[in-house]
Structure 1
């Protein structure tokens, strides 16, 4: 799945599956141009903050990411950075088009998100390992 990272005196492998949904489930990612731009903006912001995008793909109204991060970055911080950065830059690039969809506010994503930690072992295997300690 992934390789352990080492920093100072700790080892880690923090991987997450994250999904963002377009506000009001609007099918804005059908446009290949917008979809590609969102992906590019996502790479830009993640690269600045040492977050690795392992996989990323869009559907009509949402985007999936599999990311890897360091223990110093919380998931909520990553989500906030990615959503605000992509929203800001997509509005800069397509203001007239987006104004037709969101006439009250400059938004692109819903307020919420989905996140799931990706592990190398199943819960059952981890439970067995912990129970067999000592």
Structure 2
């Protein structure tokens, strides 16, 4: 939990990005490792903490923590654009075989859900017992 002045918060999110066309590009250990490194770089610049991160053949899972001043859509946009730009810089010849002219890597969409440190049931009971 972060504490700044009088504010206390714990904002954690589970995020999933999927490779465009479900291409199994993350099977390559090099690409997978580089995507992870680029993710750390962009998150560090914007005070987003990556708690966990793991790739599968065609998608990546993140568990992140962030401040309330940063919207999740902004974080997603930063992460996707930064990783795409740098992965293309490093593997343009290889990626051109998969995507031809478009400089893309991820699908347009993403999955996100908030992940606090209590279950939904515990939170419901807490709220119901207020007052």
TM-score normalized by structure 2? 0.97
What's the counterpart of residue 91 of structure 1? Answer: 88
Show the counterpart of 2:110.
113
2:46 paired residue number: 49
Cα offset for 1:91?
0.3
Number of equivalenced pairs: 131
Are 1:11 and 2:11 matched, yes or no?
no
Displacement, 1:104? 2.9
Q: Distance in 2 between matches of 1:5 and 1:54?
A: 14
Q: Which runs of 4+ in 1 moved over 6 A?
A: none
Q: Distance in 2 between matches of 1:54 and 1:37?
A: 17
Unaligned runs of 5+ in 1: none
Consecutive unaligned residues in structure 2, runs of 5 or more: none
Q: Which residue of 2 aligns with 1:67?
A: 64
Which runs of structure 2 are paired with 1:8-47 in the superposition (5 Å)? 8-47=5-44
Q: CA deviation at 1:35?
A: 0.4
Q: CA deviation at 1:8?
A: 2.3
